[in-house]
Amino acid sequence: MIRYASITFIILALTSSWACQDELRDRYQNPNSAATPTLGEFFTAMLNNDRVRPSYWDVSTFINWHVGVYSQSVGYLNGLSRYQQNESYIQNRWDDFYRPGPNGSGVMATFKEMEKMYARLSVTDKEELEVFIQAARVVLCDQASQMVDLWGDIPFSQAGSLNGQGKIVYPKFDSSEEIYAAILKDLKTGADYFSDPQISQAAQTQFAKQDILLSGDVEQWRRYTNSLRLRLLMRLSFVQEEKSKTEVLEVLSQESQYPLLESTSYIPGEDDILLHPLATYSADLHDAFLDWTNYPAPYYALEEVLKPANDLRIPVLYDKYGVTSNGSFVPNSDYKALPLNLTVIEQTESVEQYAILDSTTFLFNAKLPGIVFTASEVNFLKAEAYERWGGGDAQGEYL
pLDDT of residue 299: 96
pLDDT per residue over 226-265, tens digit each?
999 999 999 999 999 999 999 999 999 998 999 999 877 7
Query: Which whole number is the average pLDDT over 30-57?
Result: 84
Place 361 in a pLDDT band, splitting at 50, 70 and 90.
very high
**160 torsion bin: left (phi>0), alpha (psi -120 to 50), beta (else):** left
In a domain, 228, yes or no: yes
In a domain, 152, yes or no: yes
pLDDT of residue 169: 81
- The CATH number covering residue 128 comes to 1.25.40.390
Sign of the CA dihedral with 65 first, then 67, 71, and 75 last: negative
In a domain, 283, yes or no: no
Rounded CA gap, 225 and 136, in Å? 11
Give the helix/strand (H/E) hosting 174: strand 173-174
Query: Which whole number is the average pLDDT over 281-291?
Result: 93
pTM greater than 0.75? yes
In a domain, 201, yes or no: yes
Q: What is the span of the domain harbouring residue 50?
A: 39-55+103-276
pLDDT of residue 353: 96
Query: Which whole number is the average pLDDT over 265-279?
Result: 88
pLDDT of residue 35: 65
pLDDT of residue 2: 42
pLDDT of residue 288: 95
In a domain, 389, yes or no: no
Q: For residue 26, is pLDDT > 70? A: no
In a domain, 93, yes or no: no
In a domain, 216, yes or no: yes
In a domain, 211, yes or no: yes
What is the domain count for the chain? 1
pLDDT of residue 22: 53
Centre a 10 Å sphere on the Cβ of residue 91 and count the other Cβ atoms it contains: 10
Query: Which whole number is the average pLDDT over 315-328?
Result: 93
Query: Which whole number is the average pLDDT over 275-304?
Result: 94
Place 267 in a pLDDT band, splitting at 50, 70 and 90.
confident
